Amino acid sequence: MQYRFEVINLERDFQTCTRFRRDSCFVSFGSYSEFESEEHSYKERMTERLDYLPEGNCHLWVQDKIIGQTEMKLVPDTEIGYVSLLYLVPEFRGKGLGELLHKHAIKVFSVLEKSTIQLSVSKSNRQALSFYAKHGWRNLGPRRDKKQMFLMSYDLVGTSNGGVPTVSKLVSE
C-alpha cells in the first residue's frame, strides 16, 4: 500500500484536523475537555504553524483517505523541534504506521539541523509511552505546567541523517 504525506490544506480539511485532535485528547485523557479548552484558538495556531513549518504539519494519506496527522513547531531560540501531535485513525493503529509518523518527524527536524525533538504524552496513555520507549525516546519526567503529562525527548545528534529512510521508503510499505 502506498502512503504519502501532504501539507495540511486547512481550508479544505480543518474539520478533519479538529476531529483528529479531539480524538487524540480522548485517547490521551479519557475526555474531550483538554481540547475544548483550546479549541477556540486551534485554527489560528494551525495557520501559524503552517506558515512557518508546513512540512511538519501534514496529513498522512492512503489512496484518497486521510488516515493520520502530524503537528509540529519550533521552540524559539533553541535547537529543539516540538511534536504537538502524531495521530492515526483508530482502524490504522497497531499496524506499524506509527513508524511513518515517527520517521516523518525525524526527517523534518533533521533537515532543519535540530539536535533534539520533544513531545508531551499523557501519563495514562500506555500505548504511546510504550511506542516512544521502543523508538528511543527518553522520559524527562512530568511537565512543570501540566503534571498529568510526561515530557519526552529524542536525540538527533550523532545519528546519520537522524536515522531517516529515503523518501521512497518513507511513503511506501
Domains of the chain: 3-170 (3.40.630.30)
The ranges of the chain with pLDDT < 70 are 31-35, 37, 158-173
**How much is the pLDDT for 109?**
98
**How much is the pLDDT for 40?**
80
**How much is the pLDDT for 159?**
54
Confirm whether pTM is higher than 0.75.
yes
Residue entry with cell 529524542: 154
**Residue 59: strand, helix, or coil:** strand
**How much is the pLDDT for 32?**
63
**How much is the pLDDT for 165?**
36
Count other C-beta atoms under 10 Å from residue 66's C-beta: 18
Which residues does residue 7 pair with via DSSP β-bridges, in sequence order? 58
**How much is the pLDDT for 34?**
65
Q: Which residues contact 9 (CB under 8 A, 6 or more apart)?
A: none
Phi-psi region of 152 (alpha: psi -120 to 50; beta: other; left: phi over 0): beta
